[in-house]
């Protein structure tokens, strides 16, 4: 162990194997209820919940501990309207010209199109930016495994929202350069994805889909 850097003790809380299994099963059942939601209620969400979700996301591991993410939380109606307009412009182009037929066919089961009402309806829109590098004293400090690190952080963010009874949707209007412009982000940040966050609308529905079985997603060797 390199003595040049300080290390501190790490301890996990003690629990029995039965307790571990019970907690694991409870968490699985919680997350198995998670669905991507496109119909949001306008019901107000306590800002503290969003702060806690982002703080939880910030516990994610990252390459060389660079923590290359920035969560921009938008609640201003004018900003949300501007984001929706720009996102729909790109999505209309995607649905009508850019996406191949196979992609469009795969999307039919979800009933989606280029209209993105949820950007305005949800009380919060969280835009996650990946930070490719930092400028430090005139020099560029590179970040490592940025996509992997930000992806893990977003996964933890989604789990945190599910745990507190909120819903979201991972939306990636492509290209996403307009988000940097609207939100006035520096050149070292690039939009990773956009997530409306809130409560589901009373009439919200989701497509009836099937998740892969354990045998299809895991293999013990």
Q: What is the largest CA-CA distance in the chain?
A: 59
Look over the chain and give the mean of its residue pLDDT values, rounded to a whole number.
95
Rounded Cα gap, residues 15 and 65, in angstroms: 29
Average pLDDT over residues 198-209: 96
Q: Which domains does the chain have, with CATH numbers?
A: 38-199 (3.40.109.10)
Average pLDDT over residues 182-207: 97
Rounded Cα gap, residues 215 and 195, in angstroms: 31
Residues 6 or more apart from 150 whose CB is under 8 A from it? Answer: 68, 69, 128, 130, 192
CB atoms within 10 A of CB 74: 21
Contact 209, 154 (CB under 8 A): no
Three-state SS for 55? helix
Q: What is the pTM of this model?
A: 0.95
Contact 27, 188 (CB under 8 A): no
Average pLDDT over residues 87-99: 96
Distances (CA, A) of 207 to 5, 10, 217: 51, 43, 21
Q: What is the pLDDT of residues 128-165, one digit of tens each?
A: 999 999 987 767 889 999 999 999 999 999 999 999 99
Contact 160, 56 (CB under 8 A): yes
Provide the pLDDT confidence category of residue 2 given band limits of 50, 70 and 90.
low
Residues 6 or more apart from 201 whose CB is under 8 A from it? Answer: 39, 40, 41, 121
pLDDT of 3 higher than 90 = no
Contact 58, 67 (CB under 8 A): yes
């Amino acid at each position: 162990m390199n003595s040049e850097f300080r290390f501190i003790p790490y301890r996990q809380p003690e629990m029995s194997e039965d307790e571990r299994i019970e907690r694991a099963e409870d968490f699985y059942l919680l997350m198995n209820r998670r669905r991507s939601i496109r119909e949001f209620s306008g019901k107000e969400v306590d800002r503290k919940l969003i702060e806690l979700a982002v703080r939880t996301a910030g516990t994610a591991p990252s390459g060389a501990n660079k923590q290359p993410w920035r969560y921009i939380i938008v609640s201003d109606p004018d900003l949300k309207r501007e984001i929706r307009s720009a996102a729909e412009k790109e999505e209309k182009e995607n649905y009508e010209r850019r996406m191949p037929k196979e992609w469009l066919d795969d999307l039919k089961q979800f009933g989606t199109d280029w209209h993105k009402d949820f950007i305005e309806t949800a009380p919060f829109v969280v835009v996650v930016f990946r930070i490719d590098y930092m400028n430090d004293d005139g020099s560029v400090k590179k970040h490592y495994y940025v996509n992997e690190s930000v992806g893990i952080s977003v996964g933890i963010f989604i789990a945190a929202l599910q745990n507190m009874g909120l819903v979201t949707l991972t939306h990636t209007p492509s290209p996403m350069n307009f988000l940097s412009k609207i939100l006035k982000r520096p050149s070292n940040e690039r939009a990773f994805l956009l997530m409306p966050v809130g409560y589901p609308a009373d009439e919200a529905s989701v497509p009836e889909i099937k998740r892969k079985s354990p045998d299809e997603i895991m293999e013990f060797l």
